[in-house]
Every structure is written in C-alpha cells, then in structure tokens.
Structure 1
Amino acid sequence: MASTALRHSAGGDVEGGVGRTALLVAASRAIETHRRDSLAQDVFAEHFVRAAPACADWPLRIGEVPDGDADPLWGRFARYFGLRTRVLDDFLLSSVHAGGARQVVLLGAGLDSRAYRLDWPEGCTVYELDREGVLAFKHEVLAGLAATPRAARVPVPADLRGDWAGALTAAGFDPAAPSAFLAEGLLFYLPGAAETALIETVDHLTAPGSALAFEVKLEPDLLEYRTSPLYVATHRQIGIDLLGLFAREQRPDSAGALAARGWHTSVRTPFEFTREHGRGPLPESNDALEGNRWVFATRPRA
C-alpha cells in the first residue's frame, strides 16, 4: 500500500495532464496481465494505479468492466496498449539479445517497469528519462514492493524538450557503444520541432548497431476523429482529453529523416501485429487508431 507521503507528493505528478496518461497505460497493462490470452505480463502495473488516489475506481481486470471488451476504453484501447507493450518488449529484447546492444534508453519512461520484468542479458543498463516527479512516484511504489531490477537501472530526471542528451551522458551513457532507444506513446504530445530535435539527438547519440522504436500519428487533422468512441470514452470515463493533450500541428516525417541519414526503417500499423498475434484491435469506422504507426529503425554496422 502506498504511503500517505507518496499519495500527496510524487503522486501528483502522474495524476494530471500527460502524466495521467501513464496511469491509463498502467491500468491497461494490468488488465492485459490478467487476461487468459495475455499478450504481455506486467505484475507491477496495478500497483501504480492503486497508489494514485484519482484512479481508485479504475478497473484492473476485464471482468470488472460492465461491457467487457465492447467498452471502447477498457476493452479496445486497453487491448491496444497490451499489444503495443508486447511488440515493443519484443523489439527491445531482440535489440539486446540478437543485436548486441547493452544500453537501453526509455524516453518519456513514465511507469514503464521493463527494467524489472524483462529478461535482460548480463551487463545491460536501462536508462529511464522522464520528469523527476514521475520517476520518484515509480521508485516509491516499486521500493514498497521490494522489487529488484533485472538490469542496472539508471533514472535520469530530464525534460525531453531541453538538454536531455547532456543528462543522459552525465548518467553514464556511452554514445560510442550500441544502444536501443524507445519512445513509446511520447512523440504525439510534443510540438513538431521538438520531435525533430529529439530524433536528431538520438541520431547523434547512437553508434552503428543501434536501434530505435517510436510511435507516431499520421492523421492530417486529428479533430476529424473527435467523435471517435475511443476518444469520447476516454474523456467521459476517466477525464483524459487526449485531443487536448496531443500537438495538433502537422507532424514531421521522422521515419523519412532517419532513412535519409542511413538508418534502415520499417513503418507498421498496429493492425498488422493484431493479425500476427491473433488478438488486438482491428480497424473500425471513425477509428482514432487509424493513423497510428509504429516505427522501427536500425543503424547498420560499418
């Protein structure tokens, strides 16, 4: 159980604005964990939700949702997050086990518990970049569970709109060694210029043999989906106005920019992975997920 100090200090950093979306993802991962046909296991996720008073009535199992999988938020959207978790877990594990990277960087780490739950090789370090309050909240919850990371874990308090590269290298990151970067559910909250700067920074920080995965939205006008059941349900049921949080300007072509710099890139739809895994969201009318893309990039070895 979270302490009173936790509930009234660090917890506030994840209960408002973009920080609240980290709790949405945690609740979704908890629901996914308890499914009989689970795509990803995160035994820590429900503890983050329980530690935040504003989420006390959120479901943690699909059986607690009156409409079950028919619910646009806790059914379809939560399953999307479960699928995304599985796909990006696989990407990171492939990058370290097959690709040989021993540095993993989670940009906008939020309540990501991958340092604690994935099978990392010996000598692997996981750097978690996010706001100080978010990292403190996560640390207190995990410390209360006596959880032990399965790799060297290095929290890096940083604003991703500022000099986060300096903070990362000061924390021990070596740009000359292969690495795997992940920006999960991050870029569409940033202005286009900030996304471009972030991608350029990753390019400058990575050695041959490195990898990067990130998520983007390609809709030319997000407001065309303002009546999407997914957006409406998220706003009505838990008070998160995603369209109010997303940067609604035209997005840069970050995958194209990396390709122009010599990276090998692959742009996939989530629905491709639904078909690959046999479960997850499929396209529907007025679909807020229609423009979502998952980008995977590798920097060839010389």
Structure 2
Amino acid sequence: MADTTPQHPDVDGVDGGVGLTALLVAAARAIETHRHDSLAQDTYAEHFVRAAPACADWPVRIEQVPDGDDNPLWGRFARYFGLRTRVLDDFLLRSVDTNARQVVLLGAGLDTRAFRLALPSDCVIFEIDRPGVLAFKQRVLTGLSAAPKVKRVPVPADLRGEWSSALTTLGFDPTAPSVWLAEGLLFYLPGPTESHLIDTVDRLTTAGSALAFEAKMEKDLQAYRDSATYTATREEIGIDLLRLFDNGPRPDSAGDLAAKGWSTSIHTPFDFTRRHGRGPLPEPNDALEGNRWVFAHKPCP
C-alpha cells in the first residue's frame, strides 16, 4: 500500500497524523477483544474503526487477517497494544483501590476506560485531547447510546500548549490524590514539551498520586526503520510512525520524577508478556526493543 496518509502531526481529529494512530490502537483493541485468550475487553473499539473512512478496510478480528498472528502489524504489534491496555488497566484499578478518585488521561484518544472498567462510583475521569479527536469519539459513543460508568469530563486542549488551567477549570482538584496515564503519547512530543508536561503533572499532584507512561529509549529510532513492525505499518495502512515520532533527544522523565521525590519503576513490555503468558517477545531488529513502561508514585509523608 502506498503511503498516502497525511502524516503532519497538526491534523486535528482522526483523519491523519497522530490522530490516526488512535484508530490503529482502537483496531488493535478490537482484535484483542475478540481473541479467545483476550487480555483486555473493549466492545467500543471496533465501532470507532468502522466509523472512520480512513480505516474502513482495517481488520477488527484476527480471523480477518490472511496471515493471522504472523502478521507483524495486526498480529504482533496489535497484541502489544492489547497487553499495554491490560497493564495500564491494572495500574489504574490498583490506584483507585487506594485513595485516588481523580483520573487524568493525557492524550486520551479513543480510550473508553470510563465506559468499560469497574471503577468506584465516585471516580471522575478527565480526558485531555485535541478537540477534533474528542468530537469524533463523542459522535461514535452518542450513536451507540453509550453511558459512562463514572463521571467523565472531556478536556479539549493541545498538550503541547498550556492545558492545566483548562483541567482545573473543569473541576480537577490538585489537592486531592489523582492517577494519570500517558499511554502512547510522550514520544510524539518534543523533548522540552515532555519535560514541561511531567513538571506540570508534578505540580498538579499531591501525595498519594500515581502516574504511568510509555517511553522509548532508543538512541536512534531510524536504525529500526526497516523493522517488520514499522515496515508493515507503513505498507499496510500508510502510517509512517517514524515520521510522527519526535526524533530529538528524549529527556529522562523517570529520573526527573525520582529527583522530585517520586518512587519509580521501569519495565520492558516483555516483562508483562512473560507475566501474562501472552504478548510480544524480543526479536531481531525489534521496533519494540526500546519501549519502556514507567510507573511512578508520589509517596505520602
């Protein structure tokens, strides 16, 4: 397939650029949902995929993929997204089992945790993303007559700019514990923007809060350009991830949080593949080799 997809990161919505990757993740969650050994269930995911003309022919079940799990995009890469969803679901549920009742999804995309997770009834989920992405998401959910299980507050904002005032204006309380997820977000942002975002999360959180995010540790992303994952994503659906990722130096956000007093742990996705018995394992020239999942907690005095 020729690469005709709009790649500019400033496209607002899901028709191109980074917004289109939200549909890629939704398709992966749909495939994961229909597996007999599913790690995560998201019955809304395939409806997002079918509602967007850009991905009308994408699969939503592994049986629709001619080479099935041998396909590096819809097999291995999609299974990666399914594993990531499960791991962050578990992190969120553990966090609200303690005392956090505010959830902030940074770059929420087509996340449906407010609709599908068994969260405490007094939880509030704030979903921050660009207006076009949130508008598309709302149209699909309204068409399904979907009702969230907890209070859900969309926050239309660009995370590359000033977004904290929009969050607090809509009811977020910095003095109460909170849990934050940045799922598949930071490597699209310039390094200084990531650092500002992490500093802002620290400023808006109190003791007992938690943060999970995904980072990439490769020294040279372009060294993996011909990996099976990036090649299949370019050729099969026209998304050139390496043109969307920011190729500048990455900050050490986990180290920055530790310096601010947070406790942090860093894991490879493969750690969780082994824990759950499902998901990707390392392979040669692996586009996932540098991916890290970081879990941070702001301790109580």
TM-score range, shorter chain: over 0.9
CA distance in 2 between partners of 1:155 and 1:205 (Å)? 18
Could you say which residue in structure 2 is the equivalent of 1:40? Answer: 40
Q: Per-residue displacement from partner, 1:75-131 (whole Å, max 9, x unpaired)?
A: 00000000000000000011001x210000000000001010001102100000000
Question: Where does 1:257-272 land on structure 2 (aligned, <5 Å)?
Answer: 257-272=256-271
Matched, 1:18 2:18: yes
Question: Where does 1:186-225 land on structure 2 (aligned, <5 Å)?
Answer: 186-225=185-224
Amino acid at match of 1:91: F
Question: Where does 1:250-289 land on structure 2 (aligned, <5 Å)?
Answer: 250-289=249-288
Could you say which residue in structure 2 is the equivalent of 1:105? Answer: 104
Q: Tell me by how many angstroms 1:15 deviates.
A: 1.6
CA distance in 2 between partners of 1:106 and 1:226 (Å)? 29
Check the 8 A contact 1:15/1:23 in 2, yes or no.
Answer: no
CA distance in 2 between partners of 1:270 and 1:250 (Å)? 22
Could you say which residue in structure 2 is the equivalent of 1:8? Answer: none
Amino acid at match of 1:82: G
Q: Tell me by how many angstroms 1:12 deviates.
A: 7.2
Q: Per-residue displacement from partner, 1:261-302 (whole Å, max 9, x unpaired)?
A: 100000000000000000000000000000000000000012
Runs of 5+ in structure 1 lacking a partner? 1-10
Q: Normalising by structure 1, what TM-score?
A: 0.95
Could you say which residue in structure 1 is the equivalent of 2:6? Answer: none
Amino acid at match of 2:81: F
Q: Tell me by how many angstroms 1:239 deviates.
A: 0.4
Report SS of the residue matched to 2:127.
Answer: strand
Q: Per-residue displacement from partner, 1:1-49 (whole Å, max 9, x unpaired)?
A: xxxxxxxxxx971020000000000000000000000000000000000
Report SS of the residue matched to 1:13.
Answer: coil
CA distance in 1 between partners of 2:193 and 2:134 (Å)? 22
Report SS of the residue matched to 2:296.
Answer: strand
Could you say which residue in structure 2 is the equivalent of 1:4? Answer: none
Could you say which residue in structure 1 is the equivalent of 2:5? Answer: none
Could you say which residue in structure 2 is the equivalent of 1:174? Answer: 173
Q: Per-residue displacement from partner, 1:45-81 (whole Å, max 9, x unpaired)?
A: 0000000011111000000000100000000000000
CA distance in 1 between partners of 2:229 and 2:298 (Å)? 35
Q: Normalising by structure 2, what TM-score?
A: 0.96
Report SS of the residue matched to 2:13.
Answer: helix
Question: Where does 1:95-134 land on structure 2 (aligned, <5 Å)?
Answer: 95-97=95-97, 99-134=98-133
Could you say which residue in structure 1 is the equivalent of 2:82? Answer: 82
Check the 8 A contact 2:177/2:206 in 1, yes or no.
Answer: yes
Provide the aligned C-alpha RMSD in A: 0.9
Runs of 5+ in structure 2 lacking a partner? 1-10
Q: Tell me by how many angstroms 1:162 deviates.
A: 1.1
Q: 1:12 to 1:203 in 2, by over 3 A?
A: closer
CA distance in 1 between partners of 2:282 and 2:75 (Å)? 14
Matched, 1:69 2:63: no
Report SS of the residue matched to 1:25.
Answer: helix
Question: Where does 1:223-238 land on structure 2 (aligned, <5 Å)?
Answer: 223-238=222-237
CA distance in 1 between partners of 2:27 and 2:160 (Å)? 27
Check the 8 A contact 1:32/1:78 in 2, yes or no.
Answer: yes
CA distance in 1 between partners of 2:91 and 2:165 (Å)? 26
Check the 8 A contact 1:124/1:152 in 2, yes or no.
Answer: yes
Check the 8 A contact 1:103/1:179 in 2, yes or no.
Answer: yes
CA distance in 1 between partners of 2:173 and 2:127 (Å)? 15
Could you say which residue in structure 1 is the equivalent of 2:4? Answer: none
Q: How many residues align?
A: 291
Could you say which residue in structure 2 is the equivalent of 1:141? Answer: 140
CA distance in 1 between partners of 2:214 and 2:12 (Å)? 26
CA distance in 2 between partners of 1:297 and 1:197 (Å)? 17
Q: Per-residue displacement from partner, 1:176-208 (whole Å, max 9, x unpaired)?
A: 000000000000000000000000000000000
Amino acid at match of 2:156: P
